[in-house]
């Protein structure tokens, strides 16, 4: 039950971070938002190290750095897929791939969820697909954009898997490694592309908030996977688009489509089934 609570809260925080990041990209350059939010997350994790101590292990840093590269690559590929495809195709493809890979990895490596939890996993994957849909957008998308979306989802799913592979008892050190590598990668991309990382006036606060919330969600994921199976934790965490949608509805007044409301209902049912398993 502890793992379910932590993973569900993690999904809410991830969704809120994405919402803030989306607002930030309306005001500033995407690469600037990604880089500065990552730096804000690094500051937070360094501040939390003394509060949630763990044994330093070089392997934890290496696994974390691998996770950071996978996550940053997934983010870059996701934006690339959005630039060449359509949201209604790219978003669900990426989301379902990122949710499915950790589930498959967990099952292959010996995790055996209860029957109710397996039903909950199926419902959760359906929920991710439904809440990511935008019926008003064009359904046309090139094969190239779909393949890039699949690669982006693999990057996000790889982030969760690689963090899970870090040694037990190492506390937040995997996240330190993850954030160091992701910041380095994004800054390197900015230098190669000759893009400025200076945010536009008035956008720094929302960028920093997005980065802090994203790192807080990463911490919650680590705590959740220590308490439960990756196949259950990762699929619950992947429900984060539902909270992003609800924030867009009640903060920005955006309209939810019927298919997205059905997705939110599936998400709630999935959480309930996994909780009682």
pLDDT over threshold 60, residue 139: no
191 burial via Cβ count (<10 Å: 0-12, 13-18, 19+): exposed
Residue 129 — φ and ψ, nearest 5°? -65, -45
- Mean residue pLDDT of the chain comes to 85
Residue recorded with tokens 């983010």: 75
pTM of the model: 0.86
Question: With left for phi above 0 and alpha for psi between -120 and 50, is residue 171 left, alpha or beta?
Answer: left
184 burial via Cβ count (<10 Å: 0-12, 13-18, 19+): middle
Percent of the residues in the chain that have a pLDDT greater than 90, as a whole number:
24
Q: Give residue-wise pLDDT tens across range 142-164.
A: 677 788 888 988 998 999 999 99
**What confidence score (pLDDT) does residue 43 get?**
93
Rg of the chain, C-alpha, whole Å: 18
Q: Give residue-wise pLDDT tens across range 104-117.
A: 898 898 888 888 88
Average pLDDT over residues 131-135: 73
Distance CA 238, CA 104 (A): 14
pLDDT over threshold 80, residue 136: no
**What confidence score (pLDDT) does residue 83 get?**
62
Distance CA 169, CA 42 (A): 20
Distance CA 165, CA 188 (A): 26
Within 10 A of 271 (CB to CB), how many other CB atoms are there? 22
Task: List, in sequence order, the alpha helices (H) in the chain.
Answer: 2-27, 30-48, 58-84, 87-108, 115-131, 143-164, 173-193, 204-227, 230-237, 240-251, 258-276
Task: Tell me the pLDDT band of 137, cut-offs 50, 70 and 90.
Answer: low
Distance CA 182, CA 35 (A): 9
pLDDT over threshold 70, residue 271: yes
Residue 127 — φ and ψ, nearest 5°? -65, -45
């Amino acid at each position: 039950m502890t793992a379910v609570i932590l993973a569900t809260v993690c999904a809410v925080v991830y969704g809120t971070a994405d919402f803030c990041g989306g607002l930030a990209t309306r005001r500033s350059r995407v690469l600037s938002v990604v880089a500065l939010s990552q730096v804000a997350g690094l500051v937070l994790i360094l501040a939390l190290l003394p509060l949630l101590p763990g044994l330093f292990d070089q392997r934890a840093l290496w696994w974390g750095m691998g996770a950071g590269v996978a996550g940053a690559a997934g983010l870059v590929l996701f934006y690339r897929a959005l630039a060449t495809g359509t949201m209604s195709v790219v978003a669900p493809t990426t989301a379902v791939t990122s949710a499915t890979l950790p589930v498959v990895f967990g099952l292959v490596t010996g995790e055996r969820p209860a029957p109710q939890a397996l039903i909950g996993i199926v419902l959760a994957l359906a929920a991710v697909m439904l809440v990511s849909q935008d019926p008003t957008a064009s359904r046309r998308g090139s094969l190239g954009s779909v393949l890039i979306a699949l690669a982006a989802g693999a990057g996000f799913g790889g982030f969760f898997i690689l963090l899970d592979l870090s040694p037990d008892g190492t506390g937040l050190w995997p996240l330190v490694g993850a954030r160091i590598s992701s910041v380095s990668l994004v800054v390197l991309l900015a230098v190669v592309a000759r893009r400025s990382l200076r945010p536009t006036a008035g956008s720094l606060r929302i960028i920093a908030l997005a980065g802090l919330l994203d790192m807080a969600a990463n911490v919650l994921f680590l705590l959740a996977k220590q308490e439960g199976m990756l196949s259950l934790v990762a699929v619950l965490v992947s429900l984060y688009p539902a909270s992003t949608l609800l924030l867009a509805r009640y903060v920005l007044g955006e309209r939810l489509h019927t298919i997205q409301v059905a997705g939110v209902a599936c998400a709630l049912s999935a959480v309930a089934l996994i909780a009682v398993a």
